[in-house]
Structure 1
């Protein structure tokens, strides 16, 4: 199954910073054949209600830090629909069709941190098993209140890396893996990111101030 020509991005609301809107415009201009889908928090919640069962929706609602919610969403939306997910502060340098082949089902990039696969951008066919593994691992973490003070392990790159490694260790060979930043096709953050999205990542501060998971409802 081919990877659909659609790009997903998310932000807490529709008030996306002006410079970020410019990079979105530039991405669209570089990829005119791709549909663009923007999800704010309200649309994400409606997506989980409509596309997943109540247990998954309730698990999502327990997440109390925006970055972890965005992590869960990226796996969930691509599992349902397929396509390209890109963090709101990331951007494309070239046309995605120069990177994605017609027969691709999973296109993955490495982080600069050795041994970790990046998930600021995800490129998957609909229903890919790696995404299902990510969702299942997150649901298990939430159910057992694991890593409530460590988003990297609760929903983030650790979850994704574990899922990719588990899938490939089963002998699956459909993943095409690039070096850092898809070897020049994408970037995780535009140059003026720090001025727009605070000096230190908000999620890093937030997870030190409060748990990433709300208490289980009775």
Structure 2
């Protein structure tokens, strides 16, 4: 690992952990205090450099009204992506976007998903296929400036975890019309149609889909330690403070999909 990247990786974890520690007494004193993540933030630095991957960061969550650590995580990422515009998409906007920008088949199967994380999994594939850009989970943070991570001719960049053996979907970067994303969308829809709840969110809509699609291929990859990591600034407690117990890991597989007749109403 590049020495400077290693240092920023460590620093982000130290800063993030300090933020988490301080957030506990802060939210004890101010239990109702929330901070608004903007729905749109323009690029702070303009550049004439052209790149295949659009300079757009996409994020979503159940609410843009966030706790202090989640908001500080957002600010840190904006500092690391000054030449990128930022777009936050709400639960309702995800549904509307998919309704207006996909086929009836994709839209109706999306509506069967009964879990916010699973919905976000499919939405990120669709919006990146249509628009391109960079998707980042709300609890993830860059460890190096995004403009240095992505090269101008990169058609897509994926990161690997578990000693660089597995692809993840908490960071995805691509140009529009990426055929791998089209394949991933089709696989998610197939999993929903076959009601593959037995493989959980991870396999039905999440990283398992990316790993299946990229199997045997040789895409551009980076280690997460040199690119983007999770949990430095926030944790499940602060991310779901207003919806405790709602993280996808707590959902029973049998509850991941609505009844088959749901889309008829």
Asked if the contact 1:148–1:213 (Cα under 8 Å) also holds between the matched residues in 2, the reply is: no
Match of 2:133 among 79, 83, 87: 83
Provide the residue aligned with 1:128 in structure 2.
178
Match of 2:121 among 66, 71, 84: 71
State how 1:109-188 maps to structure 2 within 5 Å. Answer: 109-112=159-162, 115-147=165-197, 150-165=200-215, 168=217, 173=218, 175-179=219-223, 181=224, 183-188=225-230
SS at match of 1:150: helix
Asked if the contact 1:62–1:214 (Cα under 8 Å) also holds between the matched residues in 2, the reply is: yes
- What does the per-residue CA deviation read over 1:144-164, in whole Å, with 9 as the maximum and x for residues that have no partner? 111356111110111110011
Asked if the contact 1:148–1:212 (Cα under 8 Å) also holds between the matched residues in 2, the reply is: no
State which structure, 1 or 2, has the greater radius of gyration over its C-alpha atoms: 2
Asked if the contact 1:62–1:216 (Cα under 8 Å) also holds between the matched residues in 2, the reply is: yes
User: Shift of residue 207 of structure 1?
Assistant: 2.5
Provide the residue aligned with 2:143 in structure 1.
93
Distance 1:148 1:49 in 2: 27
SS at match of 1:2: coil
Asked if the contact 2:106–2:189 (Cα under 8 Å) also holds between the matched residues in 1, the reply is: yes
Provide the residue aligned with 2:251 in structure 1.
206
Asked if the contact 1:7–1:84 (Cα under 8 Å) also holds between the matched residues in 2, the reply is: yes
Distance 1:3 1:205 in 2: 34
Report the TM-score, using the length of structure 2 for normalisation.
0.73
Provide the residue aligned with 1:47 in structure 2.
97
Q: Does 1:196 align with 2:196?
A: no
Distance 1:113 1:212 in 2: 30
Q: Which runs of 5+ in 1 are unaligned?
A: none
1:98–1:178 CA distance, 2 compared to 1 (3 A): same
SS at match of 1:123: strand
Distance 1:195 1:49 in 2: 32
Distance 2:89 2:78 in 1: 16
Match of 1:29 among 57, 76, 79: 79
Q: Which runs of 5+ in 2 are unaligned?
A: 1-50
User: Shift of residue 129 of structure 1?
Assistant: 1.0
User: Shift of residue 21 of structure 1?
Assistant: 1.3
Bigger mean CA offset, 7-16 vs 145-154: 145-154
Asked if the contact 1:31–1:96 (Cα under 8 Å) also holds between the matched residues in 2, the reply is: yes
